[in-house]
Amino acid sequence: DTGVSQDPRHKITKRGQNVTFRCDPISEHNRLYWYRQTLGQGPEFLTYFQNEAQLEKSRLLSDRFSAERPKGSFSTLEIQRTEQGDSAMYLCASSYRTGRDEQFFGPGTRLTVL
């Protein structure tokens, strides 16, 4: 399977704990995006990378969120000091080169903060 993969698929954590999610994009894709989706809403942009460079981060994102893509391949999204409001589906997507290429989404990581 050469699609976008995400790990873990589900994460339950207690408020205040740190969590880290991993995304493996399609191998030849240079662009990688992170989104957050809550029930009944469309995906909400968090950040994106062109190779290893983080080009934009949503202004809605607090300093508790950080993402990196160290070698331009896989990416990690870390949430520090989780809050109940962080509960959501975290989606990763990749595209070939630019924002004008179709994005291929991974299955997502569902985060539940108790």
Partner 1 sequence: QQPVQSPQAVILREGEDAVINCSSSKALYSVHWYRQKHGEAPVFLMILLKGGEQKGHEKISASFNEKKQQSSLYLTASQLSYSGTYFCGTEMFGNEKLTFGTGTRLTIIP
Q: Which residues bind to partner 1, rule: CB under 8 A?
A: 33, 40-45, 48, 55-56, 91, 98-108
**Omega before 25 within 30 of 0, i.e. cis:** no
**Shortest gap between Cβ of 16 and partner 1 (angstroms)?**
29
Cβ burial, residue 2 (10 Å; 0-12/13-18/19+):
exposed
The residues near 64 (Cβ < 8 Å, ≥ 6 apart) are 79, 80, 81, 82, 83
Closest CB to partner 1 among 82 and 94? 94
Q: What is the DSSP code string of 87-99?
A: -EEEEEEEESSST
**Shortest gap between Cβ of 45 and partner 1 (angstroms)?**
5
**Shortest gap between Cβ of 14 and partner 1 (angstroms)?**
25
Closest CB to partner 1 among 37 and 80? 37
**Shortest gap between Cβ of 90 and partner 1 (angstroms)?**
11
Closest CB to partner 1 among 56 and 81? 56
Closest CB to partner 1 among 16 and 56? 56
How many whole angstroms separate alpha carbon 100 and alpha carbon 97?
8
**In one letter, which amino acid is 33?**
Y
